[in-house]
């Protein structure tokens, strides 16, 4: 641990909601192996790191002053000298989850989650783990699947008409395409979705909210 305090986990949490910080402070005060420092914004967090050295773990609120989206996360990661930095937020989009983890976030802690698990989550991230709740893991997985699918505009149009139950001939007439071209698009859609036929393609596309 930092500063030679092997029995203490030094955690910095930055959030502009005083009530959130008070609640976290009260809860973690009863956890003997965690020492918490709280600040109200990103500049104060960066000042704290500069003054006190890297923390074992930092959590930054995604929407507080100074964050400027995920660029604030990047700044905190750079300043904390290789020690883990995670995000504290309420309802992140799939895009935010993916981008934050790609940037190297230690994890994302939801403000809506029960406090009873917080200490273990903090220990896990401080120990080098990357934490996401099951809810966020599922959200990220769907986003990754959608990104991998990457249907072309024409394939998306064909898929929409497939979902309406149109045969290839009618799809071709609707989109001014030759029937062999429609068949080629259907085959490509099935390949990208990892399915064997048009019925499975429609079901999978609906599951992934592509249509």
Q: Which two tokens stand for residue 127?
A: 């120990």
Residues 13-52 have pLDDT tens digits of 999 999 999 999 999 999 999 999 999 999 999 999 999 9
pLDDT confidence band for 120 (50 / 70 / 90) = very high
Q: Give the domain CATH number at 88.
A: 3.40.50.2300
Return the SS3 of 115. helix
The pLDDT, as a whole number, for residue 6 is 55
Specify whether 137 is located in the same domain as 162.
no
Specify whether 126 is located in the same domain as 171.
no
Give the other-Cβ count within 10 Å of 84's Cβ: 25
Start-end of H helices in the chain: 18-28, 42-52, 71-79, 94-103, 118-126, 134-149, 153-163, 168-175, 179-193, 198-207
Number of domains in the chain: 2
- Overall size of the chain counted in residues: 211
Mean pLDDT of 60-70: 92
For the entire predicted model, the pTM comes to 0.68
The pLDDT, as a whole number, for residue 38 is 97
**Structural domain of 175:** 150-207
Specify whether 175 is located in the same domain as 134.
no
Specify whether 28 is located in the same domain as 129.
yes
Specify whether 100 is located in the same domain as 161.
no
């Amino acid at each position: 641990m930092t500063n030679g305090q092997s029995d203490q986990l030094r955690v910095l949490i930055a959030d502009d909601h005083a009530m959130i910080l008070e609640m976290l402070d009260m809860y973690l005060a009863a956890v003997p192996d965690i020492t918490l420092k709280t600040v109200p914004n990103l500049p104060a967090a960066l000042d704290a790191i500069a003054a006190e050295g890297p923390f074992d773990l930092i959590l930054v609120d995604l929407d507080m002053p100074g964050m400027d989206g995920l660029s604030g996360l990047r700044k905190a990661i750079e300043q904390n000298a290789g020690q883990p930095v995670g995000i504290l937020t309420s309802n992140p989009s799939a895009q935010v989850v993916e981008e934050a983890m790609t940037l190297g976030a230690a994890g994302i802690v939801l403000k809506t989650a029960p406090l009873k698990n917080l200490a273990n989550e903090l220990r896990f991230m401080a120990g080098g783990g990357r934490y996401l709740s099951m809810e966020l893991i599922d959200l990220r997985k769907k986003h990754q699947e959608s990104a991998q699918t990457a249907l072309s505009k024409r394939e998306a149009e064909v898929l929409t008409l497939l979902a309406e139950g149109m045969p290839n001939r009618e799809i071709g007439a609707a989109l001014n395409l030759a029937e062999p071209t429609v068949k080629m698009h259907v085959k490509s859609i099935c390949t990208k979705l990892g399915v064997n036929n048009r019925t499975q393609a429609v079901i999978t596309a609906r599951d992934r909210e592509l249509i």
